[in-house]
């Protein structure tokens, strides 16, 4: 697990993620032609604070959903 620093809406924060998840976040951002910070801000904005999922968990779930949707598309 590693800590990664990002700026969300002008505020510095950090997320703790396994390097493999961080790599996927970076690849997804590149494929969407957006910055990593922009993608993470988007994920953070869509996160429901009432469900108790922190930002790191939301990023992992986002990566999982992205991978699953690509697998579905490959069938």
pLDDT at position 12 is 95
| pTM exceeds 0.85 | yes
Q: Where are the alpha helices (DSSP H) in the chain?
A: 19-31, 36-46, 55-73
Say if CB 44 and CB 8 are below 8 A apart: yes
pLDDT at position 72 is 84
Label residue 70 by pLDDT band (50, 70, 90): confident
Domains of the chain, start order: 2-73 (1.10.3990.20)
pLDDT at position 52 is 84
pLDDT one-digit tens code per residue, 14-69: 999 999 999 999 999 999 999 999 999 999 999 987 888 899 999 999 999 999 99
């Amino acid at each position: 697990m590693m800590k990664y620093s990002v700026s969300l809406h002008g505020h510095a924060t950090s997320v703790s993620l396994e390097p493999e998840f961080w790599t996927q976040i970076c690849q997804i951002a590149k494929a969407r032609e957006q910055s990593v910070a922009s993608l993470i801000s988007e994920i953070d904005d869509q996160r429901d604070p009432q469900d108790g999922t922190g930002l790191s968990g939301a990023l992992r779930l986002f990566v999982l959903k992205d991978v699953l949707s690509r697998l579905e598309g490959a069938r």
